[in-house]
Structures are given as C-alpha cells and as structure tokens.
C-alpha cells in the first residue's frame, strides 16, 4: 500500500522567526530540496513563529512552481500561545468546536490552500471533550477542509477519549534514542493495535544537543557502527527509529541540506537486531532486563 505521507517528514518549526528566519526564496529552495529527497510531507502548527510561519510557508508555496497535490501539509491547533500575536493572559488550550473550526480556517488562509492533509490536536487539554471535538472535525471533513485527523503528544487513554467520538488516524509523539518512553508506556503498543500512523518529532533527541554520560555512550556506540553501515551518526539514529515495527515517520526539524540528504539515506539502512539493542543499551546505560 502506498504511503499517504512521506516516510521522512519535514518539520517547519525552525524555518521562521523561531529558528533560521528563512526568507521567501530560501523557503522555496528548501521545499524543492525536500521534494528532491523524497520528502513530500511538511509539518506545521499554527503557533510556530508566534503564528507567523504558516503564512511565510504559504507565501513561498504560492510563489513556487510546486503543485499542491504533490505535497502533504500537516498542521496543529489548540495551543493558545503566550506571545505578541494574540492577547492571551496565559498559555492554555482551546478545543471548543468554534475555536477548532476558526483555527483551521485561519491556517488555510495562511497556508494559501483549500485543504489540510492532516489536522492534529497539538497537546491534550484537561478540558477537552470528545463530542465537542467530533462536531468540529465532522464539519471540517464534510466541507473538504481536512482529509485526516489525529492527535499529538497524547497518552493512550487521552487518545481513547477522543477516538470514542471521532476516529484518530495519526499520533505525533516525541520519540528518539534519548526519549523512548513510548516503547514502554503503551503509546506505541496502542499505535500498532489500532493501526494509527505514528510520527516522531525530535527524532535525533539530545544526541547532538547535550554532552552527558548518556549521549557520550551513544556517540561511542554510533562511532563503532559507522563503518559497518557506511553511515553517519544522524543516519544511524533515524535508522534506529525506522526499525521499530510501529513504522514510525520521523519529523526532522533541520534546514541543513546535508542532514536532509542523510535522512533520506537512512531509509536504506536496516540495522541488525543486535546492533539495534546495542544502541538501546548505550542509551539506557544497562542491558535489557
């Protein structure tokens, strides 16, 4: 069965003012470079760049020669961010029907598109009600404004709560060699059982961000595997994720061409079973029980 979304997904959080501050031409080039490396799915959230990055991406897409049908656009709603763009007194979540619908319509205008391939609820709220969410999603789907619906950062019980009224097809979670709790807390088990598509943000974890005993062990182990697989460390880290039977789609946040190319190359690496566990042992600091 062909994939609805590219196996590697481009995360756009750092494309705008929260990161590289790319201009329109740079965004056009980056979108094209992703497509050249078989990355056709782009992950957004309304809050990225204090509610500005969607519009910047939309402007770039409109000025490019890219056909909308060639790419898939994901966005998220629900977080009311404490920034300069909205008069929020405090960061909070809003999953009332009218807000979800309004947020999607704003994202469509900003992204200059008639539909979203995926809408995700960004983070769970203690006040969300599945019937309220269902009413919004049903209306948006009937109007052709969203194709798929899912959640992000939800526990199994939170996912069950929402799916009691509206089917969930995607759960985007944090998952990496340095943050792999989803393998043990039931999240990935539920994903497999219910045939949910998993997407993993921050797939390289803290390996290149922090110098700790854990990341030092991981670097030593990856160094030992580089020659065997003729691969870079970032390729091996993604290959480790891709080995999981849940069939995870890594969401890479890089804007670096080399890292994008490496991510595509990771798809060709099949870690041997014991090598996968060697990397896990390096992360955990002990053999499996």
Which residues belong to the active site? 48
Q: Hey, what's the torsion of the CAs at 82, 84, 85, 91, to 10 degrees? A: 0
Contacts of 211 (CB under 8 A, 6+ apart): none
Give dist(CA 42, CA 117) in Å, integer: 10
User: If you compute the radius of gyration of the chain from its CA atoms, what whole number of angstroms results?
Assistant: 19
What is the DSSP code string of 88-136?
-SS-EE---HHHHHHHHHHHHHHHT-S-EEEEEE-S--TT--HHHHHHH
Contact (Cβ atoms closer than 8 angstroms) between residue 195 and residue 245: no
**Residues 91, 96, 98, 101, CA torsion sign:** positive
| 3 state SS of 174 | strand
């Amino acid at each position: 069965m062909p994939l609805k979304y590219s196996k590697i997904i481009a995360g756009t959080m750092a494309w705008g003012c929260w990161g590289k501050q790319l201009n329109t031409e740079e965004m056009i080039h980056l979108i094209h470079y992703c497509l050249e490396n078989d990355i056709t799915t782009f992950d957004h959230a309304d809050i990225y760049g204090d509610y500005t990055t969607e519009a910047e991406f939309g402007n770039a897409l409109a000025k490019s020669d890219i056909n909308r049908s060639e790419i898939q656009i994901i966005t998220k709603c629900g977080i009311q961010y404490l920034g300069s763009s909205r008069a929020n007194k405090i960061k909070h979540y809003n999953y009332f029907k009218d807000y979800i619908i309004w947020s999607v319509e704003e994202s469509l205008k900003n992204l200059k598109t008639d539909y979203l391939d995926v809408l995700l609820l960004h983070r769970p709220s203690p006040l969300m009600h599945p019937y309220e969410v269902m009413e919004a999603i049903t209306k948006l789907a009937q109007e052709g404004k969203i194709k798929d619906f899912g959640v992000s950062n939800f526990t199994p019980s939170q996912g069950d709560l929402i799916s009691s009224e509206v089917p969930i097809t995607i759960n985007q979670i944090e998952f990496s060699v340095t943050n792999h709790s989803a393998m043990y807390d039931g999240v990935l088990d539920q994903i497999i059982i219910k045939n949910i598509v998993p997407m993993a943000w921050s797939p390289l974890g803290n390996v290149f961000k922090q110098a700790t005993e854990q990341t030092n062990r991981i670097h030593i182990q990856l160094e030992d595997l580089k020659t065997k697989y003729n691969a870079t460390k970032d390729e091996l880290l993604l290959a480790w994720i891709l080995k999981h039977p849940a069939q995870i789609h890594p969401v890479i946040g890089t804007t670096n061409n080399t890292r994008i190319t490496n991510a595509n190359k990771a798809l060709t690496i099949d870690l041997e079973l014991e090598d996968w566990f060697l990397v896990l042992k390096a992360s955990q600091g002990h053999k499996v029980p």
